[in-house]
Amino acid sequence: MLLRTRITLFLSIAFVLVAGGLILAGMRREEIADERFAEVAIDGQRSLWQSLVAEELKTVTVIGDDLVAQIARARPVDVPRLRQVAATVIPAAGDLLRGVEEVQVVDASGTIIYTNRPSIGQRPILDASALDRVLSTGVVLGGLRQDTPDRYVIAAGVPVFASGRPFAVVTLARGADGVLTRFAEAFGVPSFLVSLRGRMVVGTRPDLWQALMPQIPPRSANVSIYEDDDRLFLATSVPVQDLVGGAAGTLVTLRDSSESLGEARDFQRATLAGVALFVALILAGLYVYLRQAFRPLESAISVLQALSAGDTNVRIEDAGEGEIRRIAETVAVFRRNAIAVAENQRQVERQRRRQERLIRRQMEALARTLEADGREQVLQDIQSIFGRQKAAPLAIQTVKRAGDEQLGLLAAVLQQMSARISDQHARLTELVAELREAIITRAKLAGLQQELEIARQLQLSILPKPLPPRSDVALYGLMVPAKEVGGDFFDYFFLDQRTLGIVVADVSGKGVPAAMFMAMTRTLLKATTLFSISPSASIERLNAVLAAENDQMMFVTLFYGVLDLSTGRLTYVNAGHNPPFLCRPDGSVTPLPRSGDIAIAVFEEAPYREMTIDLTAGDLVFLYTDGVTEAFDIDGTEFGEGRLITLLKELPAGASAADVANFIVEGVHRFERGANQADDITSVGLRYFGAAAAPGTVAAPLPPPSTPVSA
C-alpha cells in the first residue's frame, strides 16, 4: 500500500470516528429527551386512567351498597333464602341498576346463586382470590377485571352479612368501554385495552389498530413509533392493574405525530447528509493534495524498480522539492552507476558464454561414452546446469561471479557426472544380483507348480469313477477346486447288492492342507463303513479318529447317506453340511431336514443322529458344497440358496443326473461373470428310478463331462 494511501486512510478513519462520535452524542441526547417525554406521557396516562377507573368504581360501589342494603332488609340468613330475596329485589331495582350490565350473587364456595344475565357455562366475575378477600375482610373490593376474552369490566364486590359475618358477595359489573371512551376524549387520541396475550379487547379505533398491528409489551410501560403509509403514530402503553393488584392488561394510546416526528426525522437525515458531505469534501481535498505532493517520490521509486529489473532507460521526470528532491538526485547518481556496471557485465557475460560452450562440448563428448540410460541422465544434468546459469538474473551474476567461476562450474558438472556413473554401476550390480535370485526363484516355482499338478492329478484319481448305467439309480458328480487342489470331495460306493452309500464333504480351508485332510477323511470313512451299515455309527467312529489327532484344528462338514435301492429309503447324517435338495417330479424343490449335528473333528464324543426320507420313482436328490451358494459375482453379490432353488426348478423334466450336475456348475459360472472362484465347487446329482423299473429300462448313458474335473 502506498504511503499517501496509508496517510489518507488514517486521516479518513480519524475524521469518520470524530464525526461518528458527534452524531452518536447528538442521537443519545435526543434519546434522553425522548425518554423524559415518554416518562411524562406514561405518568400522565397512568394517572388519568386511575382517576377515571376510581370515579367509575365509586359509582358502581354506591349502587352496590344500596342494592345490598335492600337485600339486607329482607334478613336472609342462608343461601336458599338469599336466592329468593335476590330474585325479588334485583329485578325490582331497575332505575338503581341503570348502567350496570351484570349483577351476580355468589356464595362462599364461589357458586353463582343468582344473576340477571344467566348463560351456559357462566363463571363468577370475581375469581376465587378476590372472593376470599371480600369474605375474609368484609370490605368492598373493586376495580378493572377481564371477565371474558372479549370484555373488560369495572367490577365491585359487596359483602352480604348474616349474623355479623359475610356469607355471600353481590358483584356488579359495568363495561370498561365507557371509561376508555372518556379517557380517549380527555387525551384526544384513540385508546385501546389490550390483553396480556397482546390481543386488542376494546378500543375506540379498531380499524387503526388492525392497520398498524403494534407489538405491545404486556407487563411494562413503553413508547414506540409505528408507520402506516405516510403517517407516523406514537404508541404509548401503560400496564393496568386488576381489582386484586395483579396485571389485567395494557392501556395503549396511538397519537398521530406525523408532523412532529416527520420534521425530526427530516432534520436528522439532513444533519447526517451534511456531515457526510463535509467529511467527503475534506477527504477528497486531502487525497488530491497528497497525490500531487508524492508524485516525484513515486517517480523515483519507479526508476529504482526499473534498475533492479535491469532496465536503465527510465528517467525521473519531476524532481520535486525538499527531501523528495534530494532522494531524486541520489537515484539519478545510482542510475549512472548501474549503467556502467551493466556495460561491464555484458563484456564478462560474453567471455563466460564462450567458456561454457567449450566445457559443454567436452562434457557431452565424455557422456556419449556411457550406456544409453546413463548417457541420457548425464546429458540432462549438463543441460540443467547450463540452463540454470543462463536463466540467472544479470545483477545476481554480476555480484556472485568471480574470476574462477568457470572452474567452479566445471567442478559441479564433473561431480554430477561422477555421481551418475557411480549410481549406474550400483544399479547394474543390484540388477545382476536380482536376476540371479529371480532365476533361482523361477526354478523353485516351476518345481512347485509341477508338484501341485501331480497333487491335482492324484486328487482327481481318487474321486469315484462314473457309476455304470443302472435301471434303479443314476448318479453323477463334479468337483471344481478353487486352487490347484481343493478341500471338497464326494464319493459313492455299494455296501451290498441293494445298498448304495453316498457322501459329500467340505474340509475347512483350501489348497494342499485341505486336500490332504480330505484324502485322510475319505479313506477313514470308507474304512468305518466296513464295520456297520448305520450312517450314524460310521460317522461317530470317523469323528472319534479325526478329532483325537487333529493338531491343526481342521474340521469337515459332511453329508453321508445310505440308499436302500429296493425301497427307496434314504438314511443319512448331516454333520454341519448344506442340506441337499429333493426335487419331485411335480416340480417342487425342498431341502432335506437337518439333523442339527456339528462338523466332524471338533469334539471326540459328539453324537450324530440319523434322518430318513423315502424316495419315489423319478425323484432327484441334489447334493453340493457351499462353494455353490457362496459364489460371488464381480459386484460382490452372493449366489445364495434362492438362485440355486431357481436353477433346480428350471431343470427340464426327466433331466439326467449328469445334466443336473453340469447345469448347476454352468449356472454358477454364468453368475460369476468372470469373477475369481471363491471356494471349491462340488455338484452331485442322484436320480432314483424305483426298484420295479420296466423290463429293459436303463438310465441314459452319461454325457462327457462339461468341466475338466469330474467323476
Residue 495 resides in a domain: yes
Give yes or no for a contact between 528 and 535, defined as CB atoms under 8 angstroms apart. no
Domain count, the chain: 3
186 shares a domain with 53: yes
Q: Cβ distance 549 to 569 under 8 Å? A: no
- Of 462, 489, 519, the position where a domain reaches its end is 462
| Least-confidence region, from 10-14, 24-28, 317-321, 394-398 | 394-398
Instruction: Please give the grid coordinates belonging to residue 561.
Output: 447317506
What's the pLDDT at 400? 47
pLDDT at 698: 39
**Residue 265 or residue 17, greater confidence:** 17
Residues 454 and 470 in one domain: no
Closest CA to 142 of 195, 72, 65: 65
Residue 279 domain flag: no
Residues 442 and 495 in one domain: no
Give the per-residue pLDDT at 414.
67
Say which CATH number the domain at 95 has.
Answer: 3.30.450.20
In a domain, 709, yes or no: no
Q: Which residues of 500-517 are buried (b: 16+ CB within 10 A; e: fewer)?
A: bbbbbbbbbebbbebbbb
Q: What is the mean pLDDT of residues 116-145?
A: 88
- For residue 546, is pLDDT > 60? yes
Task: Say yes or no: 324 and 213 in one domain.
Answer: no
Do 497 and 612 belong together in one domain?
yes
Q: Residue 79: is its pLDDT beyond 70? A: yes
State which residues form the domain around 149: 3-258
Q: pTM of this prediction?
A: 0.41
Angle made by CA atoms 71, 76, 79, in degrees to the nearest 5 = 110
What are the DSSP E strand ranges found in 112-221? 112-115, 141-148, 151-162, 165-175, 191-194, 200-203
pLDDT at 395 over 50: no
Q: How high is the pLDDT of residue 5?
A: 76
HSE of 570, CA atoms in CB hemisphere, 13 A: 25
Q: Are residues 632 and 498 in the same domain?
A: yes
* Residue 327 within a domain: yes
CA-closest candidate to residue 301, choices 4, 696, 72:
4
Phi, psi of 339 (to 5 degrees): -65, -40
Reported confidence tier of residue 522, pLDDT bands at 50, 70, 90: confident
pLDDT mean over 525-531: 86
* 373 CB neighbour count, 10 Å cutoff: 11
The answer to whether the beta carbons of residues 253 and 188 sit under 8 Å apart is no
**603 secondary structure, DSSP code:** -
Would 707 be classed as within a structural domain? no
Band the pLDDT of 628: cuts 50, 70, 90. Answer: very high
Predicted local distance difference test score (pLDDT) of residue 387: 65
**Mean pLDDT score across all residues of the chain:** 81
Instruction: Choose among 637, 663, 633, 504: nearest CA to 578.
Output: 504
Closest by alpha carbon to 189, among 197, 180, 202? 180
* Unique residue bearing C-alpha cell 529504482: 304
Same domain for 312 and 213: no
Domain presence at residue 698: no
Residue range 306-312: mean pLDDT, rounded: 74
669/277: higher pLDDT: 669
Q: Are residues 93 and 141 in the same domain?
A: yes
In a domain, 360, yes or no: yes
Single out the residue of 365, 362, 366, 416 nearest to residue 388, CA to CA: 416
- CA trace torsion 581, 582, 584, 588 (10° rounding): -40
d(C-alpha 166, C-alpha 202), whole Å: 34
Q: Is 270 a member of any domain?
A: no
For residues 374-399, one letter each, b for 16 or more C-beta atoms within 10 angstroms of the residue's C-beta and e for the rest, the string is bbebbbebbeebbeebeeeeebebee
Report d(CA 358, CA 353) in Å as an integer: 9
pLDDT(393) > 80: no
Three-state secondary structure call for residue 200 = strand
* Cα 593 from chain centroid (whole Å): 47
Q: Is the pLDDT of residue 117 over 90?
A: no
Domain boundary (462, 482, 500) is at: 462
Longest dimension (CA), the chain: 144
Q: Rounded mean pLDDT of 187-205?
A: 91
pLDDT at residue 2, rounded to an integer: 64
Range 387-409 average pLDDT = 50
Residue written as grid cell 518345481 = 447
Cβ burial, residue 182 (10 Å; 0-12/13-18/19+):
middle
Higher pLDDT, 678 or 616: 616
Same domain, 410 and 502: no
Full strand arrangement of the beta sheet holding 247-256: 200-203, 191-194, 247-256, 231-241, 222-228
Give the 3-state DSSP-derived string for 319-342, with helices as H, strands as E and coil as C: CCCCHHHHHHHHHHHHHHHHHHHH
Q: Is the pLDDT of residue 278 over 50?
A: yes
Spell out a b/e string for 146-164, using b for 16 or more CB atoms within 10 Å of the CB, else e: bbeeebbbbbbbbbbebee
Domain match, 621 and 479 both? yes
Q: Is the dihedral of CA 620, 625, 629, 634 positive or negative?
A: negative
At which of 208, 235, 258 does a domain end?
A: 258
Paired sense of beta strands 247-256 and 231-241, if any: antiparallel
The alpha carbon of 175 is separated from its chain's Cα centroid by a whole number of angstroms, namely: 59
DSSP 467: P
Residue 614: exposure state from Cβ atoms within 10 A (0-12, 13-18, ≥19):
exposed
pLDDT at res. 671? 93
What pLDDT is attached to residue 404? 53
Q: Is residue 445 pLDDT above 70, yes or no?
A: no
The grid coordinates listed for 417 are 557426472
Question: Among the ranges 333-337, 385-389, 642-646, which has the highest mean pLDDT value?
Answer: 642-646
Lowest model confidence (mean pLDDT) among 231-240, 449-458, 573-582: 449-458
Rg (CA), the chain: 57
* Proportion of the chain in helix, strand, coil states, percent, rounded to 5: 50, 20, 30
Q: How far apart are CA 264 and CA 254, in angstroms?
A: 18
Whether 366 has a pLDDT exceeding 60, the answer reads: yes
Determine the pLDDT at residue 619. Answer: 94
For residues 474 and 418, state if they share a domain: no
Length of the chain, in residues: 711
Nearest to 16 by CA among 384, 373, 337, 278: 278
Residue 394 has pLDDT above 70, yes or no: no
Of 409, 298, 280, which Cα lies nearest the Cα of 353? 409
Q: How confident is the model at residue 621 (pLDDT cuts 50, 70, 90)?
A: very high
Query: In this structure, are 305 and 251 located in the same domain?
Result: no
C-alpha cell at 644: 440355486
pLDDT band at 375 (very low <50, low <70, confident <90, very high): low
DSSP letter at 392 equals S
Cell of 373: 540410460
SS (H, E, C) 559-589: EEEEEECCCCEEEEEEECCCCCEEECCCCCE
